[in-house]
């Protein structure tokens, strides 16, 4: 009778299922020990959840395996003997998880069934990614703080908890809410993500193992032997429940939180009481999108039946209440293997180490590379080549290695050593200026890597927008294979390229996934093909299109040409400002540093960098060669620019349908607006596209005018008053004057 969930005799369970069950159970217990006691898990949450689900699946099929000591029946966790044991007055339970809409519906249906005609509400809360704590207050005084442990017994961390500023040692009784005789407060202690990196830097510097992620550092910080160490850690708390209580009554969990807040406890800001499961799903969807505008990490949403008497009626299993469920978002942290650390040479010669990892799917995409910024960061993170590492990709954010899983090391790992010479041209690396952490290749003119990156950038959409000049073409023009010399040894000859120069150029064929050269199966030699010519030696479309494009772009607006020169610190926005002010490249070259610095949107750093750039002979030669080739370096007074938006400060966030991010900035700057990256009270307009994130939230908080694509078009075409009118607001002069005076 296998497989129908009714197997009661262990002898009927196939041997391989029994064995798998026992292996899984042991593995899960091991992981729990590492997670809860050692603060050093070796698998990601997602991997752990998958093991649990497999175990649950087996027990679903063969109920006889569901014994009281199975991990599915116990609250995850245990306690170490480094701290005194404390018995909780009331048990601390865990939560069942829902990963799909169906699982959530099934929970909702069960609640509805059990509660029949009773009216009830759902309380939606964020699932704080931290470590659970139980605080006991007697007559308002904090007498004990303990970790969850196995749910019945935890570790006494009272002395450490007393160092957390947010946790009151004494409850307040003002406002008419007398403090109770006894209350157990349950909540989550968390460690802010932004401060995590600093902690690991300090730990590695002190010769300690780095923490793999912020949650482990919360738990590790809370469980320090010396409370003075805990006191140095930026720990915070959010309250999410009540255990034992005496001397007060509560009807709903949401009302209980109001009381706890009045007593001075840190309650959550984002909770919401709703009536239907559809509204619960809206809450889940909202925070799925705004996961990162919350002050702490969240890994899901906890849905609770709000009415306390109904919670009692629904009851609990041995490990979790039936009146609550945890919706889990897809993981943003995964474990993967660090295969290598390589060094990339950028457009300005900066050498950046980057991680090459076993490809993993995280937060919606497959990740294989992550920048490590510089050699100090590699050291500070404490990662070794060969380590299993925790990789985090938060939504659209750039993937980042958080730290190594130290316990999985087998001794074969090795340290990354920053090369002393440029990996592409062999020139000795050095910092650009004293105290600079970044190492650079000083061979700016002809280091093939720097030249390739500069040409690629110059041809990019932010600059000359040369369609036929992509990355492979840029490589082909700067690094053709021996014995031929590359046609470009700097960017000076770009506009003089001829078809005769292009036809012989060959490139190595690379694997699209790995970037490694492909090899001939027989000879083992690298595969090489002509890039601009076909098999008959005739020009391919890539060649004719490139030459045509190069003719066409000679009349591009001055700002795009300036941006394309790869002058340090001069991006498209500064280039716009310079073009608008000087209208002629020769006038920029002739301007003093002071004159440049006085330009709105330029400033002393950029000015110094421009002066330095023009002081190099080979840079001025590039300009002369381009001039001889017919590139235009001047711009008429009215060309595209105007002062329609002069004096306005605008922030652009999210993806617009009408413009690229840079295109939008360019359109604003050419009309005299200042474009900044952060929203403040001084911002006049916030232009918001798809998936805008926290800047939009901040704009709403500050009550700033928010424009969508349509409003943005009005701003660009008709100016600020029309854009405000489009939003139904009075003109800025009207309210601007009054605020200015007050
Ligand atoms: S309620 C009996 N609410 O998640 C109800 N727990 O995976 C138990 N957690 O052990 C907890 N945020 O440590 C609840 N808003 C929240 C929570 C939350 C995080 C933790 C808690 C719990 C674990 C279960």
- Residues 160-174 pLDDT 10s: 999 999 999 999 987
Residue 358: pLDDT band with limits 50, 70, 90:
very high
Token reading at 493:
């000859």
Q: What is the mean pLDDT of the chain?
A: 90
- What CATH number matches the domain at 448-554, 1.20.200.10, 1.10.150.20, 3.10.110.10, 2.40.160.20? 1.10.150.20
Q: What is the CATH number of domain 649-741?
A: 3.40.50.10190
Cβ neighbours around 192 below 10 Å, total: 15
Class of domain 86-328: alpha beta
Ligand 1 nearest atom to the CA of residue 131, by list position = 13
- Mapped to the 3 state alphabet, what secondary structure does 4-65 carry? CCCCCCHHHCCHHHHHHHHHHHHHHHHHHHHHHCCCCCCCCHHHHHHHHHHHHHHHHHCHHH
CA-closest residue to ligand 1 atom 10: 94
Of 102-116, 485-499, 546-560, 712-726, give the lowest mean pLDDT range: 712-726
Domains 448-554 and 556-629 share a fold: yes
Judge contact between 363 and 348, C-beta under 8 A.
no
Q: Give the mean pLDDT of 600-617.
A: 94
What is the rounded distance in angstroms from the CA atom of residue 401 to the CA atom of residue 383? 9
Residue 733: pLDDT band with limits 50, 70, 90:
low
Q: Separation of 218 CA from ligand 1 center, angstroms?
A: 15
CA-closest residue to ligand 1 atom 23: 94
Ligand 1 nearest atom to the CA of residue 97, by list position = 7
- Point out which residues pair with 49 in neighbouring strands: none
Nearest of 402, 394, 404, 344 to residue 374 by alpha carbon: 344
pLDDT higher at 445 or 670: 445
Q: Separation of 395 CA from ligand 1 center, angstroms?
A: 23
Residue 298, phi then psi, degrees to nearest 5: -125, 145
pLDDT of residue 737: 29
Identify which of 67-81, 365-379, 581-595 has the greatest average pLDDT.
581-595
CA-closest residue to ligand 1 atom 12: 127
Domain 333-443: CATH superfamily is: Nucleic acid-binding proteins (2.40.50.140)
For the chain, the structural domain boundaries read 10-73, 86-328, 333-443, 448-554, 556-629, 649-741
Token reading at 270:
């984002």
CA-closest residue to ligand 1 atom 18: 127
- Going along 204-332, which residue ranges are E strands? 236-246, 272-274, 298-305, 324-328
- Cβ-based burial of 354 (10 A; exposed 0-12, middle 13-18, buried ≥19): middle
- Point out which residues pair with 615 in neighbouring strands: none
Q: What is the CATH number of domain 10-73?
A: 1.10.287.610
pLDDT of residue 692: 82
SS3 assignment, position 454 = helix
Nearest of 152, 297, 155 to residue 220 by alpha carbon: 155
> Residue 741 is inside which H or E element, if any?
helix 732-741
Instruction: State pLDDT tens for residues 528-563.
Output: 889 999 999 999 999 999 999 999 999 999 999 999
On the question of a cis peptide bond just before residue 593, with omega within 30 degrees of 0, the verdict is no
Probe target for ligand 1 pocket from 75, 78, 94, 95, with the most ligand atoms within 8 Å of CB = 95
Q: Give the mean pLDDT of 30-57.
A: 88
Residue 36: pLDDT band with limits 50, 70, 90:
confident
Q: Separation of 124 CA from ligand 1 center, angstroms?
A: 12
Q: Separation of 228 CA from ligand 1 center, angstroms?
A: 28
Q: Give the mean pLDDT of 440-445.
A: 95
- What CATH number matches the domain at 556-629, 1.25.40.10, 3.40.50.1000, 3.60.9.10, 1.10.150.20? 1.10.150.20
Ligand 1 nearest atom to the CA of residue 241, by list position = 1
Residue whose pair of structure tokens reads 């301007």 in the numeric block:
591
CA-closest residue to ligand 1 atom 1: 240
DSSP string, 584-653: BHHHHHHS-HHHHHTSTTTHHHHHHHHHHHHHSHHHHHHHHHHHHTT---B--TTSS--STTTT-EEEEE
Judge contact between 496 and 486, C-beta under 8 A.
no
Of 117-131, 269-283, 615-629, 691-705, give the lowest mean pLDDT range: 691-705
Q: Is 127 marked active-site?
A: yes
Q: Separation of 240 CA from ligand 1 center, angstroms?
A: 7
pLDDT of residue 2: 44
Residue 86: pLDDT band with limits 50, 70, 90:
very high
Q: What is the pTM of this model?
A: 0.67
What is the rounded distance in angstroms from the CA atom of residue 15 to the CA atom of residue 21? 10
CA-closest residue to ligand 1 atom 9: 127
| Pocket, ligand 1, Cβ cutoff 6 A | 93-95, 125, 127-128, 132, 188, 240-241, 302, 321, 324, 326
Instruction: State pLDDT tens for residues 7-24.
Output: 668 888 898 999 999 999
Probe target for ligand 1 pocket from 76, 98, 132, with the most ligand atoms within 8 Å of CB = 132
Asked if pLDDT for residue 741 goes beyond 50, the answer is: no
Residues 6+ apart with CB under 8 A from 94: 75, 76, 151, 319, 320
Q: Separation of 196 CA from ligand 1 center, angstroms?
A: 22
Q: Give the mean pLDDT of 494-515.
A: 86
pLDDT of residue 78: 66
What is the rounded distance in angstroms from the CA atom of residue 19 to the CA atom of residue 182? 47
Give one word for 703, left, alpha or beta, with left for phi > 0 and alpha for psi -120 to 50.
left
What is the rounded distance in angstroms from the CA atom of residue 718 to the CA atom of residue 308? 57
Point out the catalytic residue in the list 6, 38, 74, 127. 127
pLDDT of residue 693: 77
**C-alpha of 693 from chain center:** 12
Nearest of 107, 101, 97 to residue 305 by alpha carbon: 107
Judge contact between 92 and 151, C-beta under 8 A.
yes
CA-closest residue to ligand 1 atom 17: 127
- DSSP H helices in 510-583: 541-552, 558-564, 572-582
Vertex 392: Cα angle to 391 and 394 (nearest 5): 160
Cβ neighbours around 725 below 10 Å, total: 13
Q: Separation of 391 CA from ligand 1 center, angstroms?
A: 24
Q: Give the mean pLDDT of 195-208.
A: 87
């Amino acid at each position: 009778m296998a497989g129908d969930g009714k197997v009661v005799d262990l002898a009927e369970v196939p041997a391989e299922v029994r064995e798998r069950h026992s292996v899984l159970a042991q593995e899960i217990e091991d992981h729990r020990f590492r997670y809860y006691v050692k603060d050093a898990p070796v698998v990601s949450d997602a991997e752990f959840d998958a093991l649990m689900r497999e175990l649950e699946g087996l027990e679903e099929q063969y109920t006889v395996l569901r014994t009281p000591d199975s991990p599915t029946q116990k609250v995850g966790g245990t306690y170490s003997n480094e701290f005194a044991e404390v018995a909780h007055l009331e048990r601390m339970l865990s939560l069942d998880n829902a990963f799909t809409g169906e699982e959530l519906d099934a929970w909702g249906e069960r609640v509805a069934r059990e509660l029949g005609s009773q009216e009830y509400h759902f309380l939606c809360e964020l699932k704080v990614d931290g470590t659970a704590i139980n605080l006991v207050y007697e007559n308002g005084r904090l007498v004990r703080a303990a970790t969850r442990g196995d749910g019945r017994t935890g570790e006494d961390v009272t002395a450490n908890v007393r160092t957390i500023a947010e946790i009151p040692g004494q409850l307040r009784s003002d406002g008419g809410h007398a403090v109770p005789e006894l209350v157990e407060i349950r909540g989550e202690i968390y460690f802010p993500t932004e401060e995590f990196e600093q902690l690991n830097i300090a730990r590695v510097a002190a010769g300690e193992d780095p923490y793999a992620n912020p949650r482990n550092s919360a738990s590790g910080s809370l469980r320090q032997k010396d409370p003075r160490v805990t006191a140095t850690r930026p720990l915070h708390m959010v309250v999410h429940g009540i255990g034992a209580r005496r001397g007060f009554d509560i009807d709903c969990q949401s009302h209980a939180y109001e009381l706890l807040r009045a007593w001075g406890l840190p309650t959550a800001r984002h909770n919401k009481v709703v009536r239907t499961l559809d509204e619960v799903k809206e809450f889940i969807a909202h925070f799925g999108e705004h996961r990162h505008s919350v002050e702490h990490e969240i890994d899901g949403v906890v849905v609770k039946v709000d009415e306390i008497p109904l919670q009692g009626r629904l009851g609990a299993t041995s490990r979790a209440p039936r009146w609550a469920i945890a919706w889990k978002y897809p993981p943003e942290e995964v474990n993967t293997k660090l295969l290598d650390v390589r060094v990339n040479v950028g457009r300005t010669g900066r050498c950046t180490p980057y991680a090459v990892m076993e490809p993993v799917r995280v937060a919606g995409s497959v990740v294989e590379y992550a920048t490590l910024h510089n050699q100090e960061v590699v050291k500070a993170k404490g990662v070794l080549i060969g380590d299993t590492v925790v990789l985090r990709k938060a939504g659209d954010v750039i993937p980042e290695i958080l730290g190594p899983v130290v316990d999985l090391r087998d001794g074969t790992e090795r340290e990354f050593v920053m090369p002393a010479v440029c990996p592409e041209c062999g020139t000795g690396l050095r910092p650009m200026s004293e105290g600079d952490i970044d190492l650079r290749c000083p061979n700016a003119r002809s280091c093939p890597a720097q030249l390739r990156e500069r040409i690629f950038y110059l041809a990019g959409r932010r600059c000359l927008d040369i369609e036929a000049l992509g990355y492979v073409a840029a490589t082909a023009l700067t690094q053709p294979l021996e014995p031929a010399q590359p046609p470009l040894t700097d960017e000076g000859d770009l506009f003089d390229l001829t078809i005769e120069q292009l036809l012989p150029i060959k490139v190595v064929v690379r694997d699209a996934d790995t970037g490694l050269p492909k090899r001939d199966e027989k000879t083992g030699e690298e595969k090489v093909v002509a890039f601009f010519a076909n098999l008959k030696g005739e020009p391919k479309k890539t060649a004719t299109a490139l030459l045509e494009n190069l003719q066409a772009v000679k009349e591009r607006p001055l700002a795009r040409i300036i941006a394309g020169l790869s002058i340090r610190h001069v991006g498209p926005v500064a280039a716009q400002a310079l073009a608008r002010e000087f209208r002629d490249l020769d006038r920029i070259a002739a301007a003093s540093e002071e004159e440049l610095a006085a330009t709105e949107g330029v400033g002393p750093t950029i000015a110094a960098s421009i002066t330095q750039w023009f002081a190099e002979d080979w840079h001025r030669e590039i300009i002369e060669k381009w001039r001889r080739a017919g590139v235009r370096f001047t711009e008429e007074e009215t060309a595209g620019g105007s002062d329609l938006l002069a004096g306005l400060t605008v922030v652009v966030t999210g993806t617009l349908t009408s413009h690229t991010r840079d295109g939008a900035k360019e359109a604003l700057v050419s009309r005299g607006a200042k474009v900044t990256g952060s929203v403040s009270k001084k911002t006049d307009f916030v232009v918001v596209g798809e998936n805008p994130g926290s800047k939009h939230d901040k704009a709403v908080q500050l009550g700033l005018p928010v424009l969508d694509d349509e409003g943005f078009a009005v701003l660009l075409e008709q100016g600020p008053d029309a854009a405000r009118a489009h939003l139904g607001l009075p003109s800025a002069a009207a309210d601007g004057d009054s605020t200015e005076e007050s």
